[in-house]
């Protein structure tokens, strides 16, 4: 694990297939640590004990499912959160203890922000760190591409064109936020998070929105390396 903020630790990278990389992020806090996303590394799960384990785990969408969800819950007694729209997929591995279906704030100042588009139950999370920073976890709704741009999670050839409007609406929700650090789930460059200069987040999201709506990748063959 690697410390990337004073209270955020990043798990070792995984690459489910060429061009796609992922991390999970542990928010270390008084009152119980929170794990965002998931890791498939058992040795990293064991290391979580050094930081006090995991009280809650939030998944941004069904692509983060894996048998390690049961390993984490079994070892630490953690509570799992996932969106109701993807209950059928979750149930094949682990049914969430709490189902998400609306924008709300959970204990510890975790804001749940449903952002359908990349998947029906895609959800982002914003937290107010005691350090004074705002952290935004975007899942795959927005990810850092190979050019280190925040890009909408629309995959030509995988997603139907009808997904674009829903994803665009979700990006409009995110653009009005003012995060200090943004952590994606998947990424395709060298890193999956970025510290955001003050006042620049809306511009980054607007650029992603413009590319999404322009449909510049429409009609291409499926190229998972872009994701």
| Residue-by-residue DSSP string for 163-211 | HHHHHHHHHHHHHT---SEEEESEESSS-SEEEPPTT-HHHHHHHHHHH
For the segment 26-80, what is each residue's pLDDT rounded down to a tens digit? 999 999 999 999 999 999 999 999 999 999 999 999 998 999 999 999 999 999 9
Q: Does 224 reside within a domain?
A: no
Instruction: Tell whether the model's pLDDT for residue 150 goes beyond 80.
Output: yes
CATH number at residue 41: 3.60.15.10
| pLDDT interval class at 100 (50, 70, 90) | very high
Q: What is the torsion angle, in degrees rounded to the nearest 10, for the CA atoms of residue 37, residue 203, residue 5 and residue 184? A: 20
pLDDT at 224: 36
Instruction: Tell whether the model's pLDDT for residue 12 goes beyond 80.
Output: yes
Q: Does 187 reside within a domain?
A: yes
Q: How many domains does the chain have?
A: 1
Q: Does 80 reside within a domain?
A: yes
Q: What is the DSSP string of the chain?
A: -EEEETTEEEPPPEEEETTEEE--EEE--TT--EEES----HHHHHHGGGGT--SEEE-SSGGG--THHHHHHHHH-PEEEEEGGGHHHHHTT---SEEE-S-EEETTTEEEEE--SSSTT-EEEEEE-TTS-EEEEEETTEEE-TTS-EEE---BTTB-TTHHHHHHHHHHHHHT---SEEEESEESSS-SEEEPPTT-HHHHHHHHHHHHHHTTTTTPPP-GGG-
Q: Does 195 reside within a domain?
A: yes
Tokens of 104: 């709300």
Instruction: Tell whether the model's pLDDT for residue 226 goes beyond 60.
Output: no
pLDDT at 217: 45
Average pLDDT, the chain: 90
| pLDDT interval class at 216 (50, 70, 90) | very low
| pLDDT interval class at 221 (50, 70, 90) | very low
Give the mean pLDDT of 152-174.
Answer: 90
Q: Does 46 reside within a domain?
A: yes
Query: Coil, strand or helix: which one is 93?
Result: coil
pLDDT at 15: 77
Instruction: Tell whether the model's pLDDT for residue 92 goes beyond 80.
Output: yes
On whether the pTM is more than 0.85, the answer is yes
Query: By residue range, what is the domain housing residue 90?
Result: 2-217
Q: Does 222 reside within a domain?
A: no
Q: Does 124 reside within a domain?
A: yes
Instruction: Tell whether the model's pLDDT for residue 220 goes beyond 50.
Output: no
Instruction: Tell whether the model's pLDDT for residue 227 goes beyond 90.
Output: no
Q: Does 207 reside within a domain?
A: yes
pLDDT at 27: 98
């Amino acid at each position: 694990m690697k410390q990337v903020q004073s209270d955020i630790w990043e798990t070792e990278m995984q690459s489910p297939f060429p061009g796609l990389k992922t991390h999970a992020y542990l928010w270390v806090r008084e009152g119980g640590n929170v794990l965002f996303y998931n890791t498939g590394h058992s040795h990293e799960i064991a290391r979580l004990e050094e930081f006090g384990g995991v009280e809650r785990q939030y998944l941004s969408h069904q692509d983060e499912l894996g048998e390690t969800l049961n390993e984490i819950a079994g070892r630490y007694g953690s509570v799992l959160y996932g969106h109701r729209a993807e209950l059928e997929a979750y149930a094949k591995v682990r049914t969430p203890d709490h189902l998400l279906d609306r924008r709300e704030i959970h204990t510890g100042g975790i804001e749940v922000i449903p952002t359908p588009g990349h998947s029906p139950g895609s959800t982002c999370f914003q937290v107010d760190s005691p350090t004074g920073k705002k952290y935004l976890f975007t899942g795959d709704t927005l990810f850092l591409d190979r050019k280190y741009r925040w890009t909408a999670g629309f995959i030509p050839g995988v997603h139907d064109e009808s997904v674009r409007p829903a994803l665009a609406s979700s990006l409009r929700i995110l653009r009005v936020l003012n995060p200090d650090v943004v952590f994606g789930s998947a990424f395709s460059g060298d890193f999956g998070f970025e510290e955001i200069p003050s006042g620049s987040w809306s511009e980054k999201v607007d650029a992603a929105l413009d590319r999404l709506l322009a449909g510049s990748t429409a009609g291409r063959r499926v190229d998972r390396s872009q994701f």
